[in-house]
Amino acid sequence: MLLAADVGGTKTLVGLFRPAGPRPDAADTRVYATTKYQSLVEIVRDFLRQTHAPHITAFVAGVAGPIEGRRARLTNADMIVDADAISAELGGARAALLNDLEAMGHAACVLRPDELQTLQAGDGRSRGGAALIAAGTGLGESVLHDVDGRLVPAASEGGHADFAARTPRELSLVAHLSREFGRVDVERVLSGAGIVNLFRFTHHSDLAELPCEAIAAGTPAKDMPAAISQSALAGSCPRCVEALEMFVSAYGAEAGNLALRAMATRGVFIGGGIAPKILPAMTTGAFMNAFLDKAPMEALVRRMPVHVILNPDAVLVGAAVHAASLSQDGTR
């Protein structure tokens, strides 16, 4: 059996999988609150105790943070993930760590059509590279290289690259954010916290007092991104609408930037937790207009397929795909 994990700043998914062709079959999946544990070993131990899992041959975790050697520290939570410690917990099973976007990249080629929402069909080339961008708690990016026809994802911390303003309104946004944060990286705009930053900008507020009647007083900070998005989608507040429109447009522009850097002729995948929850805003045309606004390369990006990943467990699926390859090739 294979064990896989999706380790995020808020929650961790652990799944038990049976090897089965290019996409392993899920046997059991459980969710854990990341912040309640000091290490992934503790979560794995709980999972094994709860499921009475049989012998594990390989384990892979997709981790929301940079990986150095066989260890990783989460970017948005105080947790260390150690592949060797997990291998020991599993009786010497082969173990590996991937950046969460790298893990999601392994799922890109095995996702079913009903797990994708197509924003642009493109020309459907079967060869070439691909790209993956995912806004959620943070922002992740990955380039998927074409290696003998197989997509091989590369780890990246592209979400922490500089945010590129394109319009006078975005220039004002950068000036606003730089006064508070200094350097403005892409994640300051394209993430859950980024939606809140955009809300504060459009409402001219520091949130000391909630400036929007469309959002209930006392809304917890962790629920603000969803509350802002819901207000915008319902048209309850014009400033919430503008915040979400700015988010979607900036998202499309950054996805287009990544598509050019990756020469993503095989496709661009939009992952993360936010896009599926704001699909009505993603499909108005604002995202694709910004994606395509890449003169003199508009013809190139117009040929690239663009899909929103709807499967919330894509990181887990990708980790399982990589665990299956570890089990087969015997590499640790």
b/e for 208-225, b at 16 or more Cβ within 10 A?
eebbbebbeeeeeeeebb
Q: What is the pLDDT of residues 234-292, one digit of tens each?
A: 999 999 999 999 999 999 999 999 999 999 999 999 999 999 999 999 999 999 999 99
Question: pTM of the predicted model, to two decimals?
Answer: 0.89
Query: Residue 183 has what pLDDT?
Result: 97
Task: Find the angle CA(34)-CA(40)-CA(41) to the nearest 5 degrees.
Answer: 140
What is the pLDDT confidence band of residue 329, given thresholds at 50, 70 and 90?
A: low
Q: Mean pLDDT for the chain?
A: 93
Tell me the domains of the chain and their CATH numbers: 2-106+313-329 (3.30.420.40), 114-310 (3.40.367.20)
Question: Assign residue 230 a region: left if phi > 0, alpha if psi is -120 to 50, beta otherwise?
Answer: alpha
Segment 180-220, tens digit of pLDDT: 999 999 999 999 999 999 999 999 887 656 789 899 888 99
Taking alpha carbons only, the member of 52, 55, 138 closest to residue 99 is: 138
Give the tens place of pLDDT for each residue, 281-322. Answer: 999 999 999 999 999 999 999 999 999 999 999 999 999 999
Confidence (pLDDT) at 327? 81
Quickly state the pLDDT bin for 332 (edges 50, 70, 90): very low
pLDDT value for 208:
59
CA 121 vs CA 64, 143, 265, 267, 302: distances in Å: 29, 20, 11, 9, 9
